Structure 1
Amino acid sequence: MSEVEAARYSWGGDEFIFVEMAEQMSLQANFRVMAITKALRDKRPDGVLEICPANASYQVRYDPDVIPPGELLDRLRDLEHQVGDAHDLALPTRVVEIPVLYRDPWTTETLMRFRDRHQEPQTTDIEYAARINGYSSVEEFIAAHSGSPWFTSMVGFVAGLPFMFQMVPRERQIIVPKYLRPRTDTPKQTVGYGGCFSCIYSVRGAGGYQLFGITPAPIYDPTQKLPDFADFMVFFRPGDIVRFSPIDRERYDAHLAEAEAGTFRIRTEPVEFSLHEFLDDPDGYNARLLEVLP
């Protein structure tokens, strides 16, 4: 087992325990979170009320009248030891294709209304992101953003919003700070970016992530009328591997019409993701993942 950070355990009042697996986001930290929370759900002790995994941490709500805090802490530490570095964990998941119209007119109009809250008021968000990450053009930046898969590390903050972590070595990851002050408006289904995470805004509302484009694909349907939501109102699941596919305005309009007619389906394909195979050869493994959906 490789050397890993020891988890940090913190109490929240008398009903919550928060567990931080690592100070820095990584696939390995996220895999450890998923493995521990899955094991806790599979053998859920009496008194554990809620289990909430996040990017590199998780939180447990419990009833102290049923399970003493010390006993719960011992169980969680045992699970941490059993999971170890999660290097050999294999995850049954799926590859998901998300079509994106980069530099679309709606997010562009929105971001231009909020330039006083941005680091570079004289540029667009995607121009700023391209420059600070060393890309010579927006087109080169889009190729990098869409040219590698993204791992869905958690779903939340608002209903159905996926946080996606770029599956490349850390020195090649896109890093973009959030706005200096949040916007009060963001179009639904905007593809955004903040820190090391890409996201898709599931609903219209406030936000602070940089705006790169928009997808015609619905990812949240509380009515569950659309075909992708027969089982659940939220499309994304932790562990989903995302492939962003650039599209033009004509294709966007066609997909949007299909979504409005209730016939659009997000393309998916089941796959088993192996952490150690990815860590041994990230570029080769990513190439195989991207070929899962022809």
Structure 2
Amino acid sequence: MKTRYSFGGDEHIFVEVDEEMSLDAFFKSLSMTNAVRDSKIKGVTEICPANASFQIKFDPDQIAPDDMLAELKKLEGAAENAEKSITTRIIEIPVYYQDPWTHETLMRFRERHQDPNGTDLDYAARINGFDSAEAFIEAHHSNPWFVSMVGFVSGLPFLYQLVERERQLQVPKYLRPRTDTPKLTVGYGGCFSCIYSVRGAGGYQMFGITPMPIYDPEQKISYLKDFMVFFKPGDIVKWNPIGREEYDRIVAEVEAGTYTPKIVEVDFDLDAWNADVDGNNAKLMEALNAG
């Protein structure tokens, strides 16, 4: 991987670990941002991790841009050899696929889509070689996903499927963005799945909706009282397909303050996962089911 450094004005440095998203690139980026934090470099005011890159904000009155760059480059060698294992959490996220709300929305914006005559799921299934939307849905939820970044919109997670590159589902974004997307839509763009934390514009394909809020600036939701954003990089997600009755039940529990997401602490080792993808995914599923 060829790391590239670039200045953003006189108080930002952008570090691109790789042009392509991969778990190897993510772990190198994670190691470098952890090293920046642990090194307590004078003048660093903010560390913003992304999928295969990160950005550092610093005070140029405390450290010159060239000196900041030199500090980052010194940390790169250590990051190359850093241990690629983390203790994280696997989370079950309920998804109501083919729900009426995202369906109504996507039908309003067919003129902005690659396939005006079908649905987003029909299109995703066809271009990925599946014979039905249902088969694509099964592929979407049958393996776990890795949260590689949180942001762009407050609390929105970018999720990368834990399968080999040749098995990745890939779906392009809309030809032109929509002006509306329901809150908590489960979307897809490129190789990333996401959850729209708020209602608003968007260009990702829409597959369903979750009844589980993931962002609460007022921190009134029971499981978001400690922090308004639910996800963090390194989280592992297992989509759980549900129907309308289960969706309504969870919405009611969230409103009553009694809903608790299913979360289990797990260890994830990148080298072990690369050596046996399906076996390690099965262990993650077993840990979630046993939790």
Q: Amino acid of the residue matched to residue 245 of structure 2?
A: E
Q: Does 1:283 align with 2:259?
A: no
Comparing 150-159 with 56-65, which one deviates more in the overlay?
56-65
Instruction: Report the equivalent of 1:113.
Output: 108
Cα deviation, residue 85, structure 1? 5.6
**Deviation at 1:44?**
1.6
Could you tell me how far 1:73 is from its partner in structure 2?
1.2
Partner Cα separation in structure 1 for residue 272 and residue 107 of structure 2: 43
What is residue 252 of structure 1 aligned with on the other side? Answer: 247
Please tell me the residue identity of whatever aligns with 2:265. P
8 Å CA contact 1:19, 1:59 repeated in 2: yes
AA of the residue aligned to 2:155: G
CA distance 1:139–1:59, shift in 2 (3 Å): same
Quick one: which of 163, 187, 190 aligns to 1:168?
163
* Structure 2 residue corresponding to 1:209, chosen from 182, 204, 207: 204
Pairwise CA distance, 1:200: 0.2
Cα separation, 2, equivalents of 1:51 and 1:243: 28
**Runs (4+) off by over 2 Å:** none
- Picking from 67, 73, 76, the partner of 1:80 is 76
AA in 2 matched with 1:62 = F
Query: What amino acid does structure 2 have at the position aligned with 1:42?
Result: D
Greater mean alpha carbon deviation, residues 99-108 or residues 55-64: 55-64
CA distance in 2 between counterparts of 1:247 and 1:226 reads: 21
Alignment of 1:102-141 (within 5 A): 102-141=97-136
Aligned length: 289
Deviations, residues 148-204 of structure 1 (Å, cap 9, x unaligned): 000000000111000000010000000000000000000000000000100000000
Counterpart secondary structure, 2:288: coil
- Deviation of 1:228 after TM superposition, in Å, equals 0.9
Tell me if the contact between 1:28 and 1:85 (Cα under 8 Å) persists in the aligned partners. no
Instruction: Name the Cα RMSD after superposition.
Output: 0.9
- In the alignment, structure 2 segments of 5+ residues that lack a partner are none
Q: Distance in 1 between matches of 2:225 and 2:40?
A: 28
Cα distance, 1:61 vs. partner? 1.0
1:202-234 CA distance string (max 9 Å, x none): 000000000000000111111111121121000
- 1:185-264 to structure 2, matched below 5 A, reads 185-264=180-259
1:31 aligned onto 2:21: no
The aligned residue for residue 157 of structure 1 is: 152
1:143 and 2:138 correspond? yes
One-letter identity of the residue aligned with 2:41:
P
Out of 49, 53, 56, the position equivalent to 1:60 is 56
Question: What CA distance in whole angstroms lies between the structure 2 residues aligned with 1:274 and 1:118?
Answer: 39
Q: 8 Å contact 1:153–1:164 — kept in the other structure?
A: yes
Gaps of at least 5 residues in structure 1 are none
* One-letter amino acid of the counterpart of residue 221, structure 2: L
Tell me the percent identity.
Answer: 62
Q: Is the 8 A contact 1:16 1:60 kept in 2?
A: yes
The SS at the match of 1:224 is coil
Deviation at 1:39, TM superposition (A): 1.2
Report the AA paired with residue 69 of structure 2: L
Residue 12 of structure 1 pairs with residue 8 of structure 2? yes
SS at structure 2 position matched to 1:218:
coil
In 1, Cα distance between the equivalents of 2:212 and 2:131?
Answer: 30
The residue type equivalent to 1:30 in the other structure is F
CA distance in 2 between counterparts of 1:92 and 1:39 reads 17
The 3-state SS of whatever aligns with 1:142 is: helix
Q: Distance in 1 between matches of 2:118 and 2:189?
A: 17
Instruction: Determine helix, strand or coil for the equivalent of 2:287.
Output: coil
